[in-house]
Structure 1
Amino acid sequence: MRVLAAGDHFVAPDLFETALRAEPGLPGDLETVHLTSGWPSEPFGPVGSGDSVVDEASGTEEELVEALAGVRVCLTQMAPFTARVFDACPELEMVAVCRGGPVNVDLDAADRAGVAVAQAPGRNAAAAAEYAVAMILAAARHVPYADAELRDGRWRGDLYAYDRAGLELAGTVAGLVGYGAIGRIVARVLRAFGAEVLVADPYTDAATAAADGVRLVALDELLRASSVVSLHARLSEETRGLIGERELGLLPHGAVLVNTARGGLLDHAPLPEALRSGRLGALAVDVYDVEPPPEDWPLRGLPNVVATPHLAGATRQTAHRAAAIAAGEAGRHLRGEPLAHPANAAARRATEEVVS
Structure 2
Amino acid sequence: MPEIRRVAILDDYQGVALQYADWSTLPDSTELTVLTKSLGGPEDVIAALEPFDVIVAMRERTAFPAAVIDRLPNLRLLVTTGPVNAAIDVAAAQQRGIVVSGTRGAGLISTAELTWSLIHALARSVPAEDRGVREGAWQRTVGRDLHGARLGVIGLGGVGTRVARVGRAFGMDVVAWSAHLDAEHARAVGVTPVTKRELLATSDVVTVHLKLSARTTGLLGRDDLALMRPDALLINTSRGPIVNEEALLAALNAGTIGGAGLDVYSTEPLPADSPWRGAPRTVLTPHLGYVTAGAYDVFYSDALEDILAYAAGEPIRVLTP
Query: Could you tell me the TM-score, scaled by structure 1's length?
Result: 0.73
CA apart distance, 1:111: 2.6
| Equivalent residues, number | 312
Give the match for residue 215 of structure 2: 238
**Secondary structure of 1:66's partner?**
coil
Matches of 2:89 and 2:214 in 1, distance apart?
Answer: 17
Distance apart, 1:315 and its partner CA:
2.0
- 1:228 deviates by 0.4
Aligned to 1:7: 9
Partners of 2:70 and 2:230 in 1: how far apart?
51
**Given residue 60 of structure 1, which amino acid in structure 2 is its aligned partner?**
V
Residue pairs, 1:153-164, within 5 angstroms? 153-157=136-140, 159-160=141-142
Alignment pair present for 1:344 and 2:317? no
Q: What amino acid is the match of 1:76?
A: A
Q: 1:47 aligns with which of 17, 42, 47?
A: 42
Closer/same/farther in 2, CA of residues 331 and 232 from structure 1, 3 Å limit: farther
1:169 counterpart = 2:152: no
Q: Are residue 282 (structure 1) and residue 241 (structure 2) matched?
A: no
Tell me which amino acid in the other structure corresponds to 2:22: T
Q: What secondary structure is seen at the aligned counterpart in 1 of 2:151?
A: strand
Q: Distance in 1 between matches of 2:226 and 2:305?
A: 46
Q: What residue identity is the alignment partner of 2:278?
A: R
Q: Which residue of 1 aligns with 2:35?
A: 37
CA contact (8 A) 1:11 1:320 kept: no
| Residue in structure 2 matching 1:76, options 41, 49, 57 | 57
2:49 alignment partner AA: L
What is the identity percentage for the equivalent residue pairs of Structure 1 and Structure 2? 28
Shift of 1:265: 1.8
Q: What does residue 134 of structure 1 align with?
A: 117
User: Could you give the per-residue CA deviations for residues 26-51 of structure 1, whole angstroms, max 9, x where no partner exists?
Assistant: xx979654121233xxx454425xxx
**Pair 1:313 & 2:290 matched:** yes
User: Structure 2 residue aligned with 1:219, among 165, 174, 196?
Assistant: 196
Distance 2:20 2:129 in 1: 41
| Aligned-pair CA distance for 1:306 | 1.4
Q: CA deviation at 1:311?
A: 2.6
Q: Which amino acid aligns with 2:88?
A: V
Q: TM-score, normalised by structure 2?
A: 0.80
Say if 1:5 and 1:178 are closer, same or farther in 2 by CA, change over 3 A: farther
Q: Which runs of 5+ in 2 are unaligned?
A: none
CA RMSD of aligned residues (A): 3.4
Any unmatched runs of 5+ in structure 1? 22-27, 49-58, 161-165, 346-356
Shift of 1:254: 0.7
For 1:137-152, list aligned pairs within 5 A.
137-152=120-135
CA distance in 2, matches of 1:187, 1:19: 39
Equivalent residue for 1:119? 102
Whole-Å separation in 2 of the counterparts to 1:338 and 1:276: 49
CA distance in 2, matches of 1:177, 1:192: 18
What amino acid is aligned across from residue 36 of structure 1 in structure 2?
V
The one-letter amino acid of 2:50's match is V
Equivalent-residue separation in structure 2 for 1:174 and 1:265 (angstroms): 19
Distance of aligned partners of 1:61 and 1:239 in 2 relative to their CA distance in 1, 3 Å threshold: same
Distance 1:19 1:299, change over 3 A: closer
Relative distance call for 1:237 and 1:44 in structure 2 (3 A) is farther
Q: Is the 8 A contact 1:332 1:338 kept in 2?
A: yes
